[in-house]
Homo-oligomer: A and B are copies of this chain.
Amino acid sequence: MSVEQAKEPLTRARILDAAVRLADASGMRAVTMRAIGDELDREAMSLYHHVADKKALIAGMVDTVVAEVAESGHAIHRGDWRSTVRDRCLEARRIMLTHPWAPSVIAQQEESPASAFALYDDLVGTVLEAGFDHALAHRAIHALGSLVLGFSNELFDPAPGGDVEPDEEAMRAMAATFPHLLEMADMELHAAEGALSMCDTQAEFEFTLGLVLDGLEARRAALA
Q: Which residues of A contact B (CB under 8 A)?
A: 66, 103-109, 111-113, 116-118, 120-122, 124-125, 128, 134-135, 137-139, 141-143, 145-158, 160, 174, 177-181, 183-184, 187-188, 191, 198-199, 201, 204, 207-208, 210-212, 214-216, 218-219
- A147 to chain B: which residues have CB within 8 Å? 146-147, 150
A156-B150 contact, Cβ under 8 Å, with A121-B178, A135-B191, A178-B121 = no
| Neighbour of A181 across the interface among B105, B120, B146, CB < 8 A | B120
Task: Report the separation of the CA atoms of residues A218 and B215 in the bound assembly, to the nearest whole angstrom.
Answer: 10
Of all chain B residues, the one with the shortest Cβ separation from A110 is: B160
Q: Quick one: which of B111, B145, B211 contacts A215, CB cutoff 8 A? A: B211
Contacts of A216 in B (CB 8 A): 211
Least distance between A5 CB and chain B CB atoms (Å): 40
> How many copies of this chain are found per oligomer?
2
- Complex Cα gap A142–B214 (Å): 17
Contact present for A112 and B188 (CB under 8 Å) = no
Contact of A208 among B152, B204, B212 (CB under 8 A): B212
Interface contacts beyond A113-B155, A142-B201, A146-B146: sample of 16 additional A-B pairs, CB < 8 Å, sorted by A: A117-B178, A120-B156, A124-B184, A128-B180, A128-B184, A138-B184, A138-B199, A142-B154, A143-B207, A145-B150, A145-B154, A146-B147, A149-B150, A211-B211, A211-B215, A212-B215
A179–B121 CB distance below 8 A: yes
Contacts of A149 in B (CB 8 A): 150, 153, 155
B214 and A153 contact, CB distance less than 8 A: no
CB neighbours of A146 from chain B (8 A): 146-147, 150-151, 153, 208
CA distance A30 to B210 in the complex (A): 40
